[in-house]
Amino acid sequence: MEYNSGTGGGHAVSFPSPSLDMPPSKSITRTPTELVTYSSTVPFAEARARLEEYIKRNASIEQGVLAKIGGAESAEELTKAVGDVTQGGDFLFFQDYTFNGFLSLLEGRTVPPTKGYIFGNPLIARFILERDLIGGTFIPPRILLREHGYQGHSSGRPLTTLQYHKPSTLLPKAHLDRDKELKKQLEGLDAKIEEMVLEVLDENGPVKGKL
């Protein structure tokens, strides 16, 4: 690449062209990741019904909340779209996916019911992401609902588990040490997810689905 200085001397200064063959750089940062597992004898179908009610699955779909969030042109419009679905609750439904169907076909055996969910709330996420956008690697959160069959439990009923990565353990510790507000927001999200899980797997909770 040449650049003419415009001094009238007619001399051109050459600069090396950017290399197109430069490989991408890579770095690895360790995080104190924790995988949380809660188990209960609440039947899978009941736990699923409770979880989907908690994250407002039906309302999120019926009201097209993702499209409304994506198309919002003001903070007020976005906040209203979220509030119309959550009705004072914490979370919205974003996506779900079933694992046992295709695994049963590919493995030639019956895989117990296993379903994953992506859920969240942009009004909660903003306080995390505005402080550290690396949080976008795990925001919105995911959770896995599984039936484990009969495990010798005294009730004679199969176990159901909910598993998720604890949000406050998914960023480098140094990030949280230098930003106490970020740590507070992540621990608040930890608490909200745990509250949801305990309600879903409460063996004395109200029946939402089919036992």
Block mean pLDDT (10 aa), the chain, length 211? 46 59 92 97 96 98 97 98 97 98 96 98 98 97 92 72 98 96 98 98 80 45
Determine if the peptide bond prior to 140 is cis (ω within 30°).
Answer: yes
pLDDT of amino acid 205: 80
pLDDT of amino acid 7: 45
Distance separating alpha carbons of residues 42 and 113, to the nearest angstrom: 14
- Beta strands at 92-98 and 114-120: parallel, antiparallel or unpaired: antiparallel
pLDDT of amino acid 171: 97
Q: Helices (DSSP H) in the chain: which residue ranges?
A: 44-54, 57-62, 65-71, 75-86, 100-107, 122-129, 173-178, 180-200
Domains of the chain in sequence order: 33-55+90-200 (3.30.310.70)
pLDDT of amino acid 208: 73
pLDDT of amino acid 202: 96
CB 112 within 8 Å of CB 147: yes
Going by C-alpha positions, the residue among 94, 97, 96 that lies closest to residue 70 is 94
